[in-house]
Amino acid sequence: MNFRDAFHKALAGAKANLLPGLLLQALMLVFFCLYISHEGTRHFLANIANIKREAGYQFAFFSYIIAAAFLPELLRVAFFQDGRLTRANVWSFLTAAPFWGCIGMLIDYFYRLQISWFGPGDSLGTVLTKMVVDQFIFSPFLCLPLTLSYFIWRDAGFRIAPAAREIFSLSFITDRAIPSQVAGWMIWIPGVSLVYFVHSELQIPVAALIQTFWVLVLTFTSRRTVSRASSLRVPSGR
């Protein structure tokens, strides 16, 4: 596949994710309105922020395991396997959970770096700057390649040679990276803008919540089409 084909594949993927993306953005808008206007929501989130402050990186580790590893398998069993748990589900969770936990800690560290670079403010300029660095540097050049590479390695039975052949090939960029990144931008450009608007201690909880919303939306919009269930294998996320 050449780069033109990759671009068309990315557009096709973006169109396929349009409805789930719009639903997710509607959920994020509801959350944003509750955050700025509802005292009970702010009080609840303040308690979450206190837990995050006390737990540190452990909070990021376990929240991403729940949002990106446990929830997708739970929904796959519930809606695509008639409630029947299989060994494949257990294997998928056990091999995905440590990776997503580490990604959660990496993202937590990156959010802290963003605060040290650009400050903790929530002005339009600060939020936009952090979003651009996040979505056009951190995500395409670190987070996404790590995610794709790990799951290629896992699907190759954790064998280095076959995984390396695929990772260090042009098709890795054209078939996987470009389409995945474009699909991710539909969700995470508005998503991380919300993340960087909230208090720093709430950024990881909100990011995990958006990841959870995305998995839920993707599940309920694709439950009638068995072939699309495979898209839950690697959640579109950070």
In the block, tokens 């903790």 appear at 120
Q: Are 45 and 208 in contact (CB under 8 A)?
A: no
What per-residue confidence (pLDDT) applies to 234? Answer: 46
Classify residue 53: in a domain, yes or no. yes
Please tell me the distance from the alpha carbon of residue 222 to that of residue 41, in angstroms, as a whole number.
Answer: 30
CA angle 106, 70, 132 (to 5 degrees): 35
Residue with more model confidence, 220 or 224: 220
- Whether the predicted pLDDT of 3 surpasses 80: no
What per-residue confidence (pLDDT) applies to 238? Answer: 64
Structural domain count of the chain: 1
What per-residue confidence (pLDDT) applies to 182? Answer: 84
Classify residue 238: in a domain, yes or no. no
Residue 169 identity (one-letter amino acid) = S
Residue with more model confidence, 166 or 229: 166
pLDDT tier for residue 111 given thresholds of 50, 70 and 90: very high
Please tell me the distance from the alpha carbon of residue 233 to that of residue 80, in angstroms, as a whole number.
Answer: 12
Q: What is the share, in percent, of the chain residues with pLDDT greater than 90?
A: 58
State mean pLDDT over 115-139.
96
Express each pLDDT in 97-108 by its tens digit: 999 999 999 999
Cβ contacts of 155 within 8 Å, gap of 6 or more = none
Exposure string of 177-198, with b = 16+ CB inside 10 Å and e = fewer, is bbbbbbbbbbbbbbbbbbbbbb
* Coil, strand or helix at 72: helix
What per-residue confidence (pLDDT) applies to 210? Answer: 87
Express each pLDDT in 177-217 by its tens digit: 988 888 788 888 999 999 999 989 999 999 998 888 777 66
Q: What is the share, in percent, of the chain residues with pLDDT greater than 70?
A: 87
What per-residue confidence (pLDDT) applies to 219? Answer: 61
Structure tokens at 165: 């052949």
* Residue 147 Cα distances to 106, 202, 213, angstroms: 12, 24, 19
Classify residue 69: in a domain, yes or no. yes
What per-residue confidence (pLDDT) applies to 11? Answer: 74
- Whether the predicted pLDDT of 56 surpasses 50: yes
Express each pLDDT in 128-163 by its tens digit: 999 999 999 999 999 999 999 999 999 999 999 999
- Whether the predicted pLDDT of 71 surpasses 80: yes
- Whether the predicted pLDDT of 21 surpasses 90: no
* Residue 161 Cα distances to 44, 144, 157, 166, 231, angstroms: 48, 21, 11, 9, 25
- CA dihedral in degrees (34, 211, 106, 232; nearest 10)? 180
Phi, psi of 157 (to 5 degrees): 70, 30
Cβ contacts of 58 within 8 Å, gap of 6 or more = none
Classify residue 86: in a domain, yes or no. yes
Classify residue 237: in a domain, yes or no. no
- Whether the predicted pLDDT of 235 surpasses 60: no
Domain range enclosing 97: 3-232
- Average of per-residue pLDDT values in the chain: 86
Q: Are 64 and 147 in contact (CB under 8 A)?
A: no
- Whether the predicted pLDDT of 52 surpasses 50: yes
State mean pLDDT over 53-74.
94
Classify residue 48: in a domain, yes or no. yes
Classify residue 14: in a domain, yes or no. yes
